[in-house]
Structure 1
Amino acid sequence: MTVTAEQIQEWKEKYGGVYELPIEDKSVFLREPRMPDFKRAFTAMQKGGDIAFGEDMLNTLWLEGDEEIRKNDEYFLPARKELVDFFNYPDAVTKTVKNGTEITVEDSKCTVRVITREDIRMAEKRNPSGKPFQTQEALFDQIVLSKDAAYNDKDNPQIRFPLYQAIEKLQNKKIASLKKL
């Protein structure tokens, strides 16, 4: 397998980020995942567990590589483990403001109002089949008061993952601990 600098540049223009994942004497080139890729992989995980998640992500993002990585467990299992690095996005910064909470992801800001149990109930109703991330998307759409243009891109995991984590934290400001007596 020979991948040229020109090929890598073409992939970058087409897909954005490109990654090389070497595993000892084998290597694979992967494109940067988007939210639809994560949704598909999490759906696979719901049906078939962590292995299905890894298989789906590897197959979906695969650009070029040694087929042994897909077929041979000695290569696949460490490759699957490395795919977790795609989830390493910077945390959102939250700040209480007059009418709610300001959430900053990278340099983009949005303001959301206080989340109620009815908001969560309505968001869950908009996702009756329990598809990954749809409840979070629906909840954000319900509570957002203002947002920069970056928040319109529902396929950008660099914005969406930190945003969803921030919204989750806003729902759980108080600490609860169940104690058996």
Structure 2
Amino acid sequence: MKVAKEQIETWKKQHGSVFKITVEDKVCYLKTPDRKALSYASSVASKDPLKFNEILLKSAWLAGDEEIKTDDTLFLSASSKLAEIIEVKEAELEKL
């Protein structure tokens, strides 16, 4: 699946960062998941680690080949990259 550059620019304006995961000939486009999605995914992670990835993928999904969500092999391949879409900025702690 190919998405027009204009669509990607629109997503960037709406969501900030946009990511593309390619698995074989399948592609999906993702945004950074929000805090609510991360919180929910984290709450189920201890009982079901794969569910964490399912929730993350679903909440970050913008467009793409649906097979990435439904085919186990494609899903597991895409899952290995999901941690990279969680953007954490450097923070400083200063004791005053």
| TM-score exceeds 0.5 | yes
8 A contact 1:70–1:76 mirrored in 2: yes
Give how far 1:68 is off.
0.5
- Distance in 1 (alpha carbons) for counterparts of 2:14 and 2:85: 19
Give the structure 1 partner of residue 25 of structure 2: 25
What is the letter of the counterpart of residue 54 of structure 1? N
What is the letter of the counterpart of residue 75 of structure 1? L
User: Structure 1, residues 67-120: CA drift from partner, whole Å, max 9, x if none?
Assistant: 110000110001111112235746x5xxxxxxxxxxxx2xxx5545xxxxxxxx
Matched residue of 1:36: which SS? helix
User: Structure 1, residues 93-150: CA drift from partner, whole Å, max 9, x if none?
Assistant: xxxxxxxxxxxx2xxx5545xxxxxxxxxxxxxxxxxxxxxxxxxxxxxxxx7xxxxx
8 A contact 2:31–2:85 mirrored in 1: no
Give the structure 1 partner of residue 74 of structure 2: 75
Could you tell me the TM-score, scaled by structure 2's length?
Answer: 0.86
Matched residue of 2:21: which SS? strand
Give how far 1:41 is off.
1.1
8 A contact 1:31–1:62 mirrored in 2: yes
Give how far 1:3 is off.
0.7
| Root mean square deviation of aligned Cα | 2.0
Could you tell me the TM-score, scaled by structure 1's length?
Answer: 0.48
Give the structure 2 partner of residue 139 of structure 1: none
What is the letter of the counterpart of residue 57 of structure 2? L
Q: Does 1:51 align with 2:65?
A: no
Name the larger-Rg structure. Answer: 1
Question: Structure 2: where are the runs of 5+ without partners?
Answer: none
Q: Does 1:61 align with 2:60?
A: yes
8 A contact 2:32–2:87 mirrored in 1: no
Give the structure 1 partner of residue 39 of structure 2: 39
What is the count of residue pairs matched by the alignment?
96
8 A contact 1:44–1:56 mirrored in 2: no
- Distance in 1 (alpha carbons) for counterparts of 2:20 and 2:85: 13
Of all paired residues, the percent bearing the same amino acid is 33
Matched residue of 2:2: which SS? coil
Structure 1 segment 1-181 matched on structure 2, within 5 A: 1-47=1-47, 49-87=48-86, 89=88, 92=90, 105=91, 109-111=92-94
Give the 3 Å change call, closer, same or farther, for CA 19–56 of structure 1 in structure 2. same
User: Structure 1, residues 31-73: CA drift from partner, whole Å, max 9, x if none?
Assistant: 01232221121123244x1100000000010000101100001
The structure with higher relative contact order (CA 8 Å, sep 6+) is 2
